[in-house]
């Protein structure tokens, strides 16, 4: 059969996982367009990084279905893609007798969703594992299947594996309009026209706007803003599980959890906004402080190193929107993928793969390779391993980011794997994510970026076009000069 050309709009964790899954098929060619300069820079880069357990989603919904399936699939995906993943478990904490009844309801809801291992324990049992929990906590729902993962590393690894298997990615490419023709679809972007047989909408908070281009006005996205604190690794001592308050109708609540990198995340708030904004607010951050003190009254917030905001896409239905457009069966929507979207990403991708396989009778490539190997990290090596690498490549001996122990060699490899900006380096290597937040290493990373990309340092950006760091040279000689 003639190859089907698929265009995926959006390279967040959903778009990259779908691209990776579809790249296994012989009869499909794939392009991905992304308006940002890198993968995972929307909702993906700024969320809690929790692999949820399946007990808070309403039974019978797509959210419940893919939360449970995604939780089960995550470990396999992370093994294949060489992404760190841990099942550390979670507590949902009750301070009042009326809250204990909610714990029982969540346990029953989890049972209906085919979640196993849930149990209710006493406050003392919870404190035997987490000694610094508030003494007012009288009970907890223990959910051992909950895990933690890096959302941006999952997206980056899926991108690398999809690209390895033949997918083409186009960054700084924003969709402007579409033309629905009899034999194909024209997708007009800021980087030209893409011809597609099929289009998959994975545009995150913009998935409603993309759906509207195809005449699908039934998808209506509300944007929710969530503010966070990020604490350094010292704050992680004594915090071993994901700790939730009693959930509300609109949110799982402000949590405290270790991250897969060893820091601590606190948040998020939940605020419906009309216009996308990632600004943090005094009110939002105070709300986090107030809520966190109910879980950990003695937590040392002086160890917070930064704060940030993430945006989530919620469809007015309250559920994920997954399926073919009722107006044109060449368009497939993955819209309103709010929490637990990260958890569901592998299962959603596999579902899309099965839909395409069944509809188009496609076959798996003999040469499909599901394995991606992560780069070596200096911070995780033994002294003996470090010494061996130094001898092979002296760049491993030059530490650029002292807070996170990131070497020059790691930064250069990140660029060769696709990073083109400071944030691209940060999310791949953690350079600039430590206590000083790039205060020491930024100029050195810029210099390396300029050398590797063969650009003047004035063109090196933080995250995208129009985010240059420097505006000119104070001396005649630039950091980068073309080698002869």
User: Which sign, positive or negative, has the C-alpha torsion 358, 362, 366, 369?
Assistant: negative
Crossing angle for the helix pair 151-164 and 341-360, nearest 10 degrees? 30
Beta strands in 274-395 (DSSP E): 304-315, 321-324, 331-335
Question: In whole angstroms, what is the distance from residue 267 CA to residue 114 CA?
Answer: 28
Paired residues of 220 in beta bridges: none
Active site residue 333: no
Contact 202, 159 (CB under 8 A): no
Spot the catalytic one: 52, 104, 184, 333.
52
How many alpha carbons fall within 13 Å on the CB side of residue 469? 19
Strands 28-33 and 4-9, how do they pair?
Answer: parallel
Question: What distances in angstroms separate CA 457 from CA 193, 431, 432, 477, one per listed residue?
Answer: 31, 18, 18, 11
Question: In whole angstroms, what is the distance from residue 252 CA to residue 240 CA?
Answer: 19
Contact 370, 161 (CB under 8 A): yes
Contact 156, 428 (CB under 8 A): yes
Q: For the chain, give the number of residues.
A: 484
Contact 43, 336 (CB under 8 A): no
By annotation, the residues acting in catalysis are 52
């Amino acid at each position: 059969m003639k190859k089907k050309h698929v265009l995926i709009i959006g390279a967040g964790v959903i778009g990259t996982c779908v691209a990776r899954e579809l790249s296994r098929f012989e009869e499909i060619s794939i392009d991905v367009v992304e308006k940002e300069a890198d993968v995972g820079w929307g909702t993906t880069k700024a969320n809690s990084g929790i692999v949820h357990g399946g007990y808070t989603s309403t039974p019978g919904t797509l959210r419940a279905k893919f939360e449970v399936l995604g939780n089960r699939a995550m470990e396999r995906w992370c093994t294949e893609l060489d992404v760190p993943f841990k099942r550390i478990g979670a507590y949902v904490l009750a301070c009042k007798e009326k809250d204990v009844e909610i714990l029982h309801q969540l346990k029953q809801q989890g049972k209906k969703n085919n979640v196993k291992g849930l149990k209710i324990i006493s406050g003392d049992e919870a404190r035997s594992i987490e000694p610094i929990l508030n003494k007012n906590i009288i009970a907890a729902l223990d959910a051992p299947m909950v895990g933690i993962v890096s959302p941006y590393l999952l997206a980056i690894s899926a991108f690398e594996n999809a690209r390895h298997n033949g997918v083409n990615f186009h960054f700084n490419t924003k969709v402007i309009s579409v033309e629905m023709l009899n034999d194909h679809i024209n997708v007009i972007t800021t980087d030209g026209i893409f011809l597609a047989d099929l289009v998959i909408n994975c545009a995150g908070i913009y998935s409603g706007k993309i759906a509207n281009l195809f005449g699908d006005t039934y998808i209506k996205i509300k944007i929710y803003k969530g503010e966070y604190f990020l604490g350094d690794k010292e704050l992680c001592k004594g915090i071993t599980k994901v700790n939730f308050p009693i959930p509300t109708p609109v949110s799982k609540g402000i949590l405290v959890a270790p991250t897969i990198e060893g820091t601590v995340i606190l948040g998020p708030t939940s605020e419906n906004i009309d216009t996308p904004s990632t600004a943090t607010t005094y009110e939002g951050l105070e709300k986090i402080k107030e809520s966190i003190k109910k879980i950990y009254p003695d937590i040392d917030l002086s160890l917070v190193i930064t704060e940030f905001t993430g945006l989530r896409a919620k469809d007015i239905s309250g559920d994920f929107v997954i399926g073919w457009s009722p107006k044109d069966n060449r368009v497939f929507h993955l819209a309103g993928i709010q929490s637990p979207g990260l958890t569901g990403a592998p299962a959603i991708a596999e579902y899309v793969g099965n839909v395409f396989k069944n509809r188009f009778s496609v076959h798996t490539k003999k040469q499909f390779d599901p394995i991606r190997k992560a780069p070596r990290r200096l911070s995780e090596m033994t002294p003996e391993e470090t010494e061996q690498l130094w001898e092979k490549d002296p760049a491993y001996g030059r530490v650029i980011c002292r807070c996170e122990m990131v070497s020059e060699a790691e930064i250069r490899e990140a660029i060769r794997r696709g990073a083109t900006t400071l944030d691209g380096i940060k999310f791949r290597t953690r350079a600039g994510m430590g206590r000083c937040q790039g205060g020491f290493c930024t100029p050195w990373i810029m210099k390396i970026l300029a050398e590797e990309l063969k650009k003047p340092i004035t063109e090196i950006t933080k995250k995208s076009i129009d985010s240059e760091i420097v505006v000119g040279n104070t001396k005649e000689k630039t950091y980068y000069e073309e080698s002869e």
